[in-house]
């Protein structure tokens, strides 16, 4: 029975991982379709689509999924999605930004509000927490592309604003409106990036202990589990000890 139980647990974890992966691909596909509908279906002529495809590839999204999403836009298929941003507070007053893409504003608003309430958070008005963040372009590279000075010089030449280098890799920041140009310039020098996307970069952070961090992760997981939610950003800060215990 122990062997059977272990196998069942392994299968459960695999099924959960497959489910999360499928949900991620679905959200990436939705972004690609919307980007293709809003502009040219050719990624080389549509900066937003190019970034959406690039991000999908960085997440190992299958080529056929990407192509199908673009064809859906060309054929006029799919729902008419609306982009909405929700803002609120989580445990310990941590700021949260929820970006959604929906074909039913009322359904999404109700689900997001309910998720906040059930998990110890509060949904606020638009603008209630956005002032704590900067909208930025974020480009990441692995350590293997070069040392900090090499990446910094390449980033400066490309028009980036800042670089953070550590043993985990390099994060290059730029103005949100410059992301496509900076990413293209860096690609010519450093090669393909690990990730290229628009993000909300916290200007101020909220320190979290183990209890509040556990509650926050539960809230974020519940929000990200919603099919309409594309991404969730928070301004939490936690010690290595707290993250280790999680």
Domains, the chain, ranges and CATH?
Answer: 2-74 (1.10.10.200), 82-131+204-245 (3.30.70.980), 133-202 (3.30.70.980)
Report CA-CA distances (Å) from 242 to 69, 132, 223, 236: 40, 23, 22, 12
Burial class (CB in 10 A: 0-12, 13-18, 19+), 244: exposed
pLDDT grade for 59, boundaries at 50, 70 and 90: confident
pLDDT grade for 11, boundaries at 50, 70 and 90: very low
User: 106-129 pLDDT, tens per residue?
Assistant: 999 999 999 999 999 999 998 999
Show Cβ contacts of residue 34 under 8 Å, excluding neighbours closer than 6 positions.
73, 81, 83, 101
The pLDDT value recorded for residue 230 is 92
Show Cβ contacts of residue 4 under 8 Å, excluding neighbours closer than 6 positions.
none
* Averaged pLDDT, 171-187: 94
pLDDT grade for 143, boundaries at 50, 70 and 90: very high
pTM over 0.85: no
The pLDDT value recorded for residue 202 is 93
User: 186-244 pLDDT, tens per residue?
Assistant: 999 999 899 899 999 999 999 989 999 999 999 999 999 999 999 999 999 888 888 88
């Amino acid at each position: 029975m122990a062997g059977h139980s272990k196998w069942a647990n392994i299968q459960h974890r695999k099924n959960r991982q497959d489910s999360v992966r499928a949900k991620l691909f679905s959200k990436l596909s939705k972004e690609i379709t919307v980007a293709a509908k809003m502009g040219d279906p050719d990624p080389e002529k549509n900066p937003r689509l190019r970034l959406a495809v690039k991000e999908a590839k960085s997440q190992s999204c299958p080529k056929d999924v990407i192509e199908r999403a673009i064809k859906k836009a060309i054929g006029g298929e799919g729902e008419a999605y609306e982009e909405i941003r929700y803002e609120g507070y989580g445990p310990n007053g941590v700021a949260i930004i929820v970006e959604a893409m929906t074909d039913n504003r009322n359904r999404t608003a109700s689900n997001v509000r309910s998720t906040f309430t059930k998990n110890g958070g509060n949904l606020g008005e638009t603008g209630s927490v956005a002032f704590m963040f900067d909208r930025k372009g974020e480009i990441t590279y692995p350590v293997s592309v070069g040392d900090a000075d090499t990446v910094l010089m390449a980033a400066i030449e490309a028009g980036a604003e800042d670089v953070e280098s550590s043993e985990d890799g390099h994060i290059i920041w730029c103005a949100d409106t410059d992301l496509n140009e900076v990413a293209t310039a860096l690609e010519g020098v450093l090669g393909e990036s690990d990730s290229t996307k628009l993000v909300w970069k916290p200007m101020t952070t909220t320190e979290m202990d183990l209890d509040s961090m556990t509650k926050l992760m539960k809230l974020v997981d519940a929000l990200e589990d919603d099919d309409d939610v594309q991404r969730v950003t928070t301004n939490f800060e936690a010690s290595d000890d707290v993250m280790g215990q999680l």
